[in-house]
Structure 1
Amino acid sequence: MPLAAGRASTLIEIQVSTETRDPISNEPIQTWERFCQAWVSVDVRRGGEYFETGSRYSQTIQVLKGDWMELKDVTPGMRVVMGIPERVLDIKTVLPENDLRTQVRLECVAGEGAR
């Protein structure tokens, strides 16, 4: 069943990483390019802070749900850019919903030290 009107109220941009080489030093340079845009619903699952090696980090886990036709080629390792000011979320899992492939769930992590 497609998302009901008004449920997918957030426009996101999915970006894919590309790597080029610096022509002088031959060092790798990572850049991000637009892969697609889609309307999604956002569900913040959990957030928190933790300590690791003497430093404090925070992270938020969010689930984005959108139309399968718009998000079918999205893979883990891509990222989501959304909102003003822009927030960047790393896509960790891509799960098609079990309703005849009409929706896709993107499980994303944001924050300092996102793992």
Structure 2
Amino acid sequence: METKEYFEKIMQDYNQHRKGCNLRKYCTDEGIDYKCLVEYKKNYGACHSSGTADSSSGASFIPLQIIEERCECPTSAPSSTGGWYIRPLVLSTPCGDDIEICSNNLAAVLDLLRKMTS
């Protein structure tokens, strides 16, 4: 049996038959290598999902880099271009988080906003 399927089967059985015991005791009772199971869970747990769900939905994924400190954005208009420019753009999420966008690429900001609204 493939490792991922084996891990999922063990966790499914544990969730159905644990009867109040922890995972370590369950593994000991069932003859399962607890250390190997925990190591697999750390390396390939829920945060490493397969790409089949993403490819079937057709929507593209945009990786975001979270920077905790405030970015230093230019406050004056660039005099050399004389065209449009972006001042610091702050978006507030429904849960109260703020996202600050600083960019000189208007097309990239428009694409990001378009994907956020769709």
Q: TM-score range by the shorter chain?
A: under 0.3
TM-score of the superposed pair, with normalisation by structure 2: 0.22
TM-score of the superposed pair, with normalisation by structure 1: 0.22
Higher relative contact order (CA 8 A, sep 6+): 1
- Name the larger-Rg structure: 2
Richer in strand (by share) = 1
Richer in helix (by share) = 2
